[in-house]
Amino acid sequence: MSRSKGTSRRGAMHCALCGREEKRISAGIGVCRDCILQRPSEALALIQQRHAESRRRFGLPPAVPKGASPHARRCGVCANECEIPPGEKGFCGLRTNDGQRLRTLAGDPNGGLVSWYHDPLPTNCVASWVCPAGTGSGFPRFALRPGPEYGYYNLAVFYETCSFDCLFCQNWHFRNAHPLRSRTRLATSADLARAVTERDTCICFFGGDPGPQIGHALHAARLALQARRRQPLRICWETNGQLSQIGLRAALDISLRTGGCIKFDLKSFSDPIHIALTGVSNARVLQNFAWAARQNSLRPEPPLVVASTLLVPGYVTAEEVAAIASFIASLDPRIPYSLLAFAPQFEMADLPPTSRQEAEACLHAALDAGLTCVRIGNAHLLWDESRTPFPADSFAGA
């Protein structure tokens, strides 16, 4: 079953476990939120089959490989810590075990599967409402002016691999990436660093996720900074948080020094919900976020750590947001938190976008949990339940 081209069916879906009929149950998941929480073993067994079916189409392993072979090679680049059997790939699809050592799909050990573009500032970045590029925060040390940096650019660097398997992925097309296809650049860190121009005042590494190629990104950032002497060049990261401890510490340190930030996309607080949506536990994500949040006091202005959550209808509810926000607030209530409206995509294209009512309920839940800096992002995607009973098919792939 596939909705990878953005098609959707707006009819109600039955939960495979309890039989409940609800328009906010995605066929891509097949199970309702309540059953995931109340019957996690049964629910996740079914949902993992959905992940496996989806990943098979892209030649990816069905789950994070662990202990499948005495000749497996361990990859510690990200927090998945895959144990890759001979002739097989790691979860992100980048590294393979040739029987003797790990190799990358990029071929060249210094190469990366990456594409980039120059995005005019201020961008629709998750942190634009609090960062130097969008607000002038940190002027004059980290910003060119006390307001938005109009006329300048962000070098947006998209890594074509990911350590998660989000069934709602908004950028799922990167899974078609291959070194022989023209859209993907097989580039060294030096190639990427040379792409930085004098009009670029920040670099944002995102994807996919930069985690599986964190060494490539860090090297490129350092090379770019060596070439830039005076004008600010902020280094930012947008990540699912599934980074290795070494990678996270290095990424945060370079952002701290340059006025950039590390943006964690916290999918959920409940581990069963997280596994259902992404195929991976959130244990390391929460551990990594907790460590990073404790560093926020090193440079609260501009914010060093920013969080966001995609409001997936039926699964990431106000209750889920309250739990995430309480967790953030327990670490540092000043951390900015952006609630992102959902656009139906990939295997969950049969869901509606987030409604205004849902988003506002989540906003109030986050504020009630003790956070002081919360906003609703992608508000143009929201629909009004009081005016439209249920969105039309035209919302699919919005």
In which domain, by residue range, is 329 found? 111-395
Domain annotation covers residue 19: no
Q: Based on the domain organization, do 99 and 239 belong to the same domain?
A: no
Q: What is the pLDDT of residue 180?
A: 46
Domain annotation covers residue 50: no
Q: Based on the domain organization, do 244 and 316 belong to the same domain?
A: yes
Place of tokens 């039989």: 19
Q: Which residues, 6 or more positions from 394, have their beta carbon under 8 angstroms from its beta carbon?
A: none
Q: Based on the domain organization, do 246 and 329 belong to the same domain?
A: yes
Q: Based on the domain organization, do 77 and 130 belong to the same domain?
A: no
Q: Based on the domain organization, do 120 and 230 belong to the same domain?
A: yes
326 neighbors 367 (Cβ within 8 angstroms) = no
Distance CA 369, CA 385 (A): 25
Domain annotation covers residue 201: yes
Instruction: Report the DSSP beta bridge partners of residue 338.
Output: 308, 375
Where does a domain end: 104, 134, 159? 104
Q: What is the pLDDT of residue 270?
A: 98
Q: Based on the domain organization, do 236 and 143 belong to the same domain?
A: yes
Q: Based on the domain organization, do 201 and 294 belong to the same domain?
A: yes
How do strand 200-207 and strand 234-239 relate by DSSP bridges? parallel
Distance CA 351, CA 361 (A): 18
Q: Based on the domain organization, do 98 and 119 belong to the same domain?
A: no
Domain annotation covers residue 28: no
Q: Which residues, 6 or more positions from 237, have their beta carbon under 8 angstroms from its beta carbon?
A: 204, 205, 206, 210, 217, 251, 255, 260, 261, 262, 263
Grouping H, G, I as helix, E, B as strand and the rest as coil, residue 131 is: coil
Domain annotation covers residue 133: yes
Distance CA 197, CA 338 (A): 29
Residue type for 234, please?
R
Domain annotation covers residue 43: no
Q: Which residues, 6 or more positions from 94, have their beta carbon under 8 angstroms from its beta carbon?
A: 104, 105, 106, 113, 161, 212, 213
Q: What is the pLDDT of residue 107?
A: 61
Q: Based on the domain organization, do 81 and 134 belong to the same domain?
A: no
Residue type for 145, please?
R
Domain annotation covers residue 53: no
Residue type for 260, please?
G
Q: Based on the domain organization, do 247 and 141 belong to the same domain?
A: yes
Q: What is the pLDDT of residue 88?
A: 93
Cα R_g (the chain), whole angstroms: 21
Domain annotation covers residue 54: no
Domain count, the chain: 2
Q: What is the pLDDT of residue 178?
A: 58
- Residue 74, Cβ density class (10 Å: 0-12 exposed, 13-18 middle, ≥19 buried): middle
Where does a domain end: 104, 133, 157? 104
Distance CA 255, CA 261 (A): 5
Q: Based on the domain organization, do 120 and 89 belong to the same domain?
A: no
CATH number at residue 210: 3.20.20.70
Q: 293-333, pLDDT tens digit by residue?
A: 999 999 989 999 999 999 999 999 999 999 999 999 999 99
Query: Edge-to-edge strands of the sheet including 337-341?
Result: 185-188, 111-120, 153-159, 200-207, 234-239, 262-265, 305-311, 337-341, 374-377
Distance CA 112, CA 161 (A): 10
- Cα 209–150–195 angle (5° rounding)? 45
What percentage of the chain reaches a pLDDT higher than 70? 91
Where does a domain end: 104, 131, 155? 104
Residues lower than pLDDT 50 in the chain:
1-9, 180-183, 394-398
Place of tokens 């947006």: 156
Distance CA 326, CA 315 (A): 18
User: In the structure, how many helices (H) and strands (E) does the chain have?
Assistant: 10, 15
For 70, 152, 341, 360, 386, the CA distances from 390, given in Å and listed in that order, are: 53, 41, 16, 17, 10
Q: Based on the domain organization, do 100 and 119 belong to the same domain?
A: no
